[in-house]
């Protein structure tokens, strides 16, 4: 859709955690970095036969370069002793004995002393000659590892000259382990990389390298981006590949690239299913099909069958997208089939999908809360939504997790997209949270209803100017589809987490259009001295202006008497107040309206 294409102008990516740091995470995920595989050989060797291996019992077979650092707490070391701070026992590898371990200081005992601007490498002492060992390019690199991803970049590389190294795999397919979620690698985790596309038809001898550095070179002066939980390597081997091995590289579903787990009847649109499939075996695979079964046969669909040559990748999708027709739950079973029997079906399974057609709720999140998003200096976070039929929006829903503080001021906003920029359309009144607003589905009412237009995309967010709000995350998404605005640097970023922020089209939501007081423009905002307050009172010619600070302390209160109801304006001197955030409340009759002001 045209509006989504404009969002490539936003730079940066944030993977947000409850820890006191932002993590700007690159997504150049290498397509050769696959789950664990076992294969059938295309040559005379048997499936999974070992061509070359090393279990770190002989330290002379590897060359360590610790970039000028010394001591067991910095860089690579090879032994059978755990040196790191994070894991008590290290890797539980198949062979036991010696293993390679990467560490970079101890942030618990000595915070901030991590070595910076370093790249630690562990390289084979001699070249690996696959052809001389009786193998071909149809082979797989496999090793056992343990550790976790934080801010570090763990790469697997090869070189034909010992100088220029090419990355063939990394850790960017793993979740970030932090206080907001994620997990460590299984102990041990077997990682496999198909070498066929890398080595070519006639494989040349090559050096193998494991390399570690920060994933955020633009923040290299921040000691936190050099923290690592550690990286353990053992039982490295190259084995023969298989005859028939289709591998799912990635899979997608949704409408115009966005996944909606709840869809209001007014916004129902065709839903497509697609997958990128890599042929990691030596045989050409014919009649490869992606098959979708929704609600046990209520709908079935597939792509036009394709042929995938050895070591090629094909992206396939259903010939006809699925369009839901009624309110209810939909469960899609997705499978991959081909003429040949796959030697390793474990790496070509696809995820099943579920979604719901609702009356009013439009949700990108999957409803399964895992972790949350927060920032120390205030932020806005939310999701893009495409509109397929004009509709009046009155509310935005959010779920705030249990770490959110009672008394925090939050707000909701809706933005349109113009020339790659987010343009403000409407917002809710600030809401001071009570205990009943946290860990529940909270509807934020917009001050003014907004008509969302067919063919356009909009960003719905929930925000705060404090550090005490945490928005629940539920699911992950592609880049440039969910966004966060940081108050500290006044910059938009995109996030791979899906915030629990939804559009609510319920027409019965009470909007201030029925209120007897309406607080209009407040200017200048921010202000150094005087501020002008425009408001309207529609029931009584009396009003009271109350100003409170961020903690609810009243700093100004005055009653006003007017000759008639309708539009009013007052000017108040803020020069004697301290810098910070304040709330201006207009009370008239039984109604009130609140807006925020910043004093410089």
Sign of CA dihedral 369, 374, 378, 379: negative
Q: Give the residue among 67, 73, 125 at the shortest CA–CA distance from 101.
A: 73
Burial environment of residue 266 by CB neighbours within 10 A (0 to 12, 13 to 18, 19 or more): middle
Q: By percentage, how much of the chain surpasses pLDDT 90?
A: 68
Where does the chain hold its CATH 2.60.40.10 domain(s)? 246-358
Q: DSSP class of residue 591? A: E
Mean pLDDT of 361-384: 93
Q: Give the residue among 193, 152, 192 at the shortest CA–CA distance from 171.
A: 152
> Is CATH 3.30.70 the right assignment for the domain spanning 2-13+371-504?
no
Please calculate the CA angle 118-216-154 and round it to the nearest 5 degrees. 65
Q: Which band of pLDDT confidence, cut at 50, 70 and 90, is reported for residue 179?
A: low
Query: What pLDDT is attached to residue 32?
Result: 20
423-472 confidence digits (pLDDT tens) = 898 899 899 999 999 999 999 999 888 899 999 999 999 999 998 999 99
Does residue 508 register a pLDDT over 90? no
CATH architecture for the domain at 41-240: Sandwich (2.60)
Distance CA 9, CA 472 (A): 27
Query: What pLDDT is attached to residue 550?
Result: 67
Mean pLDDT of 498-508: 94
Distance CA 508, CA 65 (A): 66
Does residue 266 register a pLDDT over 70? yes
Where does the chain hold its CATH 2.60.40.1490 domain(s)? 515-599
Mean pLDDT of 570-590: 88
Q: Which band of pLDDT confidence, cut at 50, 70 and 90, is reported for residue 15?
A: very low
94-111 confidence digits (pLDDT tens) = 999 999 999 999 999 999
Q: By percentage, how much of the chain surpasses pLDDT 70?
A: 90
SS (H, E, C) 98-133: CEEEEEECCCCCCCCCCCCCCCEEEEECCCECCCCC
Q: Which two tokens stand for residue 202?
A: 């006639």
Q: Which band of pLDDT confidence, cut at 50, 70 and 90, is reported for residue 314?
A: very high
Q: Where are the beta strands (DSSP E) in 338-439?
A: 353-358, 361-362, 372-373, 379-386, 391-399, 409-418, 421-427, 431-432
Query: What pLDDT is attached to residue 406?
Result: 93
Lowest mean pLDDT across 27-31, 182-186, 220-224, 266-270: 27-31
Q: Which band of pLDDT confidence, cut at 50, 70 and 90, is reported for residue 590?
A: confident
Beta bridge pairs of residue 594: 585
The CATH number of the domain covering residues in 515-599? 2.60.40.1490
Mean pLDDT of 482-498: 90
Sign of CA dihedral 346, 349, 246, 187: negative
Q: How far is CA 99 from CA 43, 56, 58, 234, 497, in A?
A: 31, 5, 10, 5, 34
Q: Which band of pLDDT confidence, cut at 50, 70 and 90, is reported for residue 507?
A: confident
Query: What pLDDT is attached to residue 181?
Result: 67
Average pLDDT score, the chain: 87
Residue that has been written with the tokens 């057609």 in this structure:
357
Beta bridge pairs of residue 23: 15
Query: What pLDDT is attached to residue 2?
Result: 32
Does residue 10 register a pLDDT over 80? no
Does residue 6 register a pLDDT over 60? no
Query: What pLDDT is attached to residue 65?
Result: 98
Distance CA 227, CA 113 (A): 9
Query: What pLDDT is attached to residue 83?
Result: 92
| 571 touches 531 (CB < 8 A) | yes
Does residue 46 register a pLDDT over 80? no
Distance CA 164, CA 197 (A): 18
Q: Which band of pLDDT confidence, cut at 50, 70 and 90, is reported for residue 347?
A: confident
Give alpha helix (H) positions in 172-277.
Answer: 196-199
| 598 touches 526 (CB < 8 A) | yes
Question: What does 129-185 look like in DSSP terms, one character per residue?
Answer: -TTTTT--S-EEEEEEEEE-BSSEEEEEEEESSSSS-EEEEESTTSPBPBTTB--PP
| End-to-end alpha carbon distance in the chain | 41
Mean pLDDT of 214-221: 89
Class of domain 246-358: mainly beta
Where does the chain hold its CATH 2.60.120.200 domain(s)? 41-240
Does residue 64 register a pLDDT over 60? yes
Is the full-model pTM beyond 0.85?
A: no
Does residue 5 register a pLDDT over 80? no
**C-alpha count within 13 angstroms, C-beta hemisphere, residue 397:** 18
- 3-class secondary-structure state, position 514: helix
Q: Give the residue among 378, 361, 275, 257 at the shortest CA–CA distance from 318.
A: 275
Distance CA 272, CA 84 (A): 46
Query: What pLDDT is attached to residue 296?
Result: 94
């Amino acid at each position: 859709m045209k509006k989504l294409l404009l969002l490539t102008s936003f730079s940066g990516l944030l993977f947000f955690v409850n820890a006191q740091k932002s993590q700007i995470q690159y997504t150049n995920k290498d397509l050769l970095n696959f789950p664990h595989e076992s294969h059938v050989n295309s040559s005379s060797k048997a499936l999974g036969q070992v061509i070359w291996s090393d279990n770190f019992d002989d330290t002379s077979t590897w060359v360590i370069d610790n970039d000028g650092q010394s001591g067991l707490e910095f860089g690579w070391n090879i032994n059978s002793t755990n040196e790191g701070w994070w894991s008590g026992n290290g890797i539980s590898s198949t062979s036991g004995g010696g293993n390679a371990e990467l560490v970079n200081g101890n942030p618990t005992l000595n915070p901030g002393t991590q070595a910076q601007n370093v790249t630690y490498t562990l390289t084979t002492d001699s070249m690996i000659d696959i052809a001389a060992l009786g193998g071909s390019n149809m082979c797989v690199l496999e090793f056992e590892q343990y550790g976790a991803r934080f801010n570090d970049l763990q790469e697997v590389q090869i070189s034909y000259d010992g100088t220029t190294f090419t990355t063939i795999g990394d850790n960017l397919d793993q979740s970030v382990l932090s206080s907001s979620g994620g997990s460590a690698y299984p102990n041990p985790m077997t990682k496999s990389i198909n070498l066929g596309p890398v080595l070519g038809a006639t494989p040349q001898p090559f050096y193998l390298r494991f390399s570690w550095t920060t994933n955020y070179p633009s923040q290299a002066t921040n000691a936190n981006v050099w923290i690592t939980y550690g990286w353990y390597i053992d039982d490295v081997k190259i084995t023969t590949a298989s005859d028939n091995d289709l591998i799912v590289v990635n899979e997608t579903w949704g409408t115009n690239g966005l996944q909606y787990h709840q869809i209001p009847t007014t916004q129902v649109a065709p839903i497509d299913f697609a997958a990128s499939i890599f042929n990691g075996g030596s045989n050409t695979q014919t009649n490869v099909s992606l098959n979708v079964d929704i609600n046990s046969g209520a709908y079935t669909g597939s792509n036009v069958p394709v042929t995938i040559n050895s070591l090629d990748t094909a992206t396939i999708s259903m010939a006809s997208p699925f369009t839901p027709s009624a309110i209810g739950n939909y469960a899609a079973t997705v499978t991959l089939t081909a003429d040949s029997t796959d030697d390793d079906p474990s790496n070509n399974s696809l995820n099943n999908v579920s979604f719901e057609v609702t009356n009013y709720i439009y949700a990108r999140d999957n409803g399964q809360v895992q972790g949350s998003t927060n920032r120390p200096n205030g932020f806005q976070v939310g999701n893009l939504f495409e509109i397929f039929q004009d509709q009046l929006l009155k509310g935005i829903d959010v779920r705030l997790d249990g770490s959110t503080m009672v008394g925090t001021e939050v707000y909701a906003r809706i933005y349109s997209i113009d020339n790659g920029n987010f343009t403000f359309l409407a917002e809710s009144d600030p809401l001071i949270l009570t205990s009943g607003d946290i860990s529940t589905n909270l509807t934020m009412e917009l001050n003014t209803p907004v008509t969302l237009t067919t063919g356009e995309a909009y960003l719905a967010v929930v925000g705060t100017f404090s550090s005490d709000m945490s928005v629940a995350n539920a699911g992950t998404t592609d880049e440039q589809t969910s966004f966060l605005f940081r108050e500290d640097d006044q910059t938009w970023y995109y996030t791979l987490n899906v915030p629990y922020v939804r559009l609510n089209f319920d027409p019965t939501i009470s909007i201030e259009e029925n209120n007897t007081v309406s607080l209009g423009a407040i200017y200048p905002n921010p202000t150094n001295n005087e501020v002008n307050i425009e408001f309207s009172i529609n029931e009584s010619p009396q009003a009271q202006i109350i100003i409170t600070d961020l903690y609810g302390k009243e700093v100004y209160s005055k009653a006003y008497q007017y000759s008639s109801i309708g539009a009013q304006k007052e000017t108040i001197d803020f020069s004697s107040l301290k810098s910070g955030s304040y709330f201006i409340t207009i009370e008239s009759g039984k109604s009130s309206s609140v807006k925020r002001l910043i004093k410089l």
